[in-house]
């Protein structure tokens, strides 16, 4: 009898262990390195379809709670919680912000369960969404990363030269908590535009007036070095909205200025060089990179009488120094 009870007890423990293991397997089917290719694609489509339906998932609701704000947001509590779960379990922050902009999911100040930051200016620059009816396949994968080839479909009317359908990728990363999360979404309008340039993308390239070939030339010129390596396109300005304030009065060859120059990206250095000309009102071809950039500057005024001979010796020397730096890429 003693042994019979012991056997029953052991069998019960084994069955309990198996049951718990099955429950854990179900709960963690997406949380381990053995996620299948099929499940990876399913997750991407599921998230894209949900966020697409959420673009205008509800009416514009004012003051659902007594916070006094008027924003687009999910009307139903369960939808807010579902989006929160997708973000928490499946999407890293940078990719989440990017997806929220693609699908025009606005920041709801009361609960903060949608886009963590409000970027209305940037959302007008994203014109494609994931085509969940398009072709999906695993492009590459290893123990900690997965790249899925996907397709994007044009979201709004652009110039005729913009493709209706374009290829792209979704990258997943195995995080420290052993969960796979989307780390980046990329297409021809890819991370060079959003993750690197951010809001400044439309400052240089406006797809309402430019073509895909214009974009590709822009990326090729400023996004790669002479060896074909990907380089940063980061750019920033000072309080006067200039990259190199004082380049018209101070020599860049001085130590402090030279150190500042060496920190500039190829794109920033190119605009810093043009900045010297632009202060004198140099006129640029309409919708060119330089035109798109300087036409937005408060201090810039086109000068039909512009002449390079009017540049000072300091300005000419600084143009030479910046040009040598640009050639070093």
- List, as one string, the DSSP characters of 138-200: EEEE-SSEEEEEEEEEE-S---TTS-SEEEEEEEEEE-TTS-EEEEEEEETT-TIIIIIIGGG
- State which of 6-15, 58-67, 114-123 shows the largest mean pLDDT: 6-15
Residue pLDDT, tens place only, 228-251 = 887 888 888 887 889 988 899 989
- Range in 11-25, 69-83, 293-307 with the lowest mean pLDDT: 11-25
Range in 30-39, 84-93, 215-224, 244-253 the model is least confident about: 30-39
Model pTM?
Answer: 0.56
Secondary structure (3-state) at 306 = coil
Q: Domains of the chain: which residue ranges?
A: 37-190, 214-327
CATH class of 214-327: mainly alpha
- pLDDT value of residue 115: 42
CA-based nearest residue to 324, from 251, 286, 269? 269
pLDDT value of residue 211: 73
Percent share of the chain, pLDDT over 90 = 37
pLDDT number for residue 113: 42
Is pLDDT of 166 > 50? yes
Report residue 254's pLDDT band, with 50, 70 and 90 as the boundaries: confident
Q: Up-side HSE of residue 42: CA atoms within 13 Å toward CB? A: 7
Across residues 253-261, what is the average pLDDT? 85
Angle at 226 between CA 224 and CA 230, to 5 degrees: 25
Helix (H, G, I), strand (E, B) or coil at 272: helix
Tell me the average pLDDT across 148-157. 84
Domain 37-190 sits in CATH 3.30.70: no
CA distance 149 to 138: 6
CA 307-310-316 angle, 5° bins: 105
């Amino acid at each position: 009898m003693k042994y019979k009870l012991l056997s029953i007890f052991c069998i019960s423990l084994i069955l309990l262990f198996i049951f718990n293991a099955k429950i854990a397997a179900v709960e963690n089917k997406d949380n381990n390195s053995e996620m299948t290719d099929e499940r990876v694609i399913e997750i991407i489509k599921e998230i894209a379809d949900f966020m697409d339906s959420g673009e205008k998932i509800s009416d514009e609701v004012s003051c659902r709670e007594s916070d006094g704000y008027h924003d687009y947001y999910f009307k139903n509590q369960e939808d807010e919680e579902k989006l929160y779960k997708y973000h928490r379990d499946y999407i890293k922050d940078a990719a989440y912000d990017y997806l929220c902009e693609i699908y025009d999911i606005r920041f709801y100040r009361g609960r903060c369960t949608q886009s963590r930051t409000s970027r209305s200016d940037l959302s007008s620059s994203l014109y494609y969404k994931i085509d969940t009816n398009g072709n999906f396949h695993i492009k590459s994968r290893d123990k900690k990363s997965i790249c899925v080839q996907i397709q994007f479909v044009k979201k709004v009317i652009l110039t005729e030269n913009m493709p209706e359908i374009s290829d792209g990728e979704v990258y997943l990363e195995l995080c420290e908590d052993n969960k796979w999360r989307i780390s980046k979404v990329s297409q021809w309008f890819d991370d060079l535009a959003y993750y690197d340039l951010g809001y400044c993308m439309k400052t240089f390239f406006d797809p309402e007036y430019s073509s895909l070939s214009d974009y590709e030339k822009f990326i090729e010129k400023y996004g790669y070095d002479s060896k074909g390596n990907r380089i940063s396109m980061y750019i920033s300005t000072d309080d006067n909205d200039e990259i190199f304030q004082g380049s018209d009065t101070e020599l860049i060859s001085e130590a402090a200025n030279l150190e500042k120059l060496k920190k500039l990206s190829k794109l920033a250095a190119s605009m810093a060089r043009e900045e010297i000309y632009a202060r004198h009102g140099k006129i640029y071809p309409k919708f060119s990179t330089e035109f798109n950039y300087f036409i937005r500057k408060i201090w810039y005024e086109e000068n039909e009488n512009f002449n390079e001979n009017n540049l000072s010796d300091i300005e000419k020397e600084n143009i030479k120094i910046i040009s040598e730096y640009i050639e070093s890429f």
